[in-house]
Amino acid sequence: MLVDRIDYRLVLLGALLPDLIDKPIGWVIWRDHFDANGHLYGHTLLASLVLIVPGAVFALRRQDPRMLATGIAMLCHLAVDPVNHSPETYLWPLLGTEFPDVSLLGPKMTIVTETISALMLLSTAVYLGRSYKLSRFIREGHID
């Protein structure tokens, strides 16, 4: 079955990919210009589609769902991120090329939500470790 071929390491990567792309750009490269916003190219629908469209082709033609699963995980990140309140970012460049500030939570709440996310990842790793599934996840990307 196609779903059995999903590599959950790539799903994890896809869920983190918008931040892995944008945080270095927003915080380091263009810090003054983007006011350390961190919602840039990786938080656009276009970035997700770059993985979803060819991923769908690979899934259908080659029975390889890995790229599609990564792109869908990336899209899921956008669904729960404050960027979903910013059509200019989400639909970039269709509504313009500027990236508005979408920091709805403020710096303190952002730290709280990022900490909660890290704790969720840690608790998942602990669960996988205690159920003797962590090594298989690391080696093969499977959680069953």
> What angle, 0 to 180 degrees and rounded to 10, lies between the N-to-C axes of helices 8-24 and 45-62?
160
The tally of domains found in the chain comes to 2
Answer yes or no: are the C-beta atoms of 102 and 85 closer than 8 Å. Answer: yes
Residue 21: predicted pLDDT: 92
Residue 112: pLDDT over 70: yes
Backbone phi and psi for residue 15, each to the nearest 5 degrees, phi listed first: -65, -30
For the cut 80, the answer to whether the pLDDT of residue 16 exceeds it is yes
Contact 82, 100 (CB under 8 A): no
pLDDT tier, 31 (very low <50, low <70, confident <90, very high otherwise): low
Residue by residue, DSSP assigns 33-46 as HHTT---SGGGSHH
Q: Is 17 part of any domain?
A: yes
Burial class (CB in 10 A: 0-12, 13-18, 19+), 138: exposed
The Cα 110–Cα 108 span in angstroms is 5
| C-alpha distance from residue 65 to each of 55, 79, 131, 137 (Å) | 7, 21, 26, 17
- Which residues lie closer than 8 Å to 116 by C-beta, 6 or more apart? none
Both 11 and 81 in one domain: the answer is yes
Indicate the pTM of the whole model.
0.81
pLDDT digits 0-9 by tens, 42-51: 999 999 999 9
Residue 23 — very low, low, confident or very high, per pLDDT cuts 50/70/90?
confident
* Predicted local confidence at residue 39, as pLDDT: 81
Better pLDDT: 98 or 60: 60
- Same domain? For 109 and 98 the reply is no
Residue percentage of the chain with pLDDT more than 70: 90
Residues 62 and 126 in one domain: no
Mean local confidence (pLDDT), 58-71: 94
Q: Are residues 85 and 109 in the same domain?
A: no
Residue 139 located in a structural domain: no
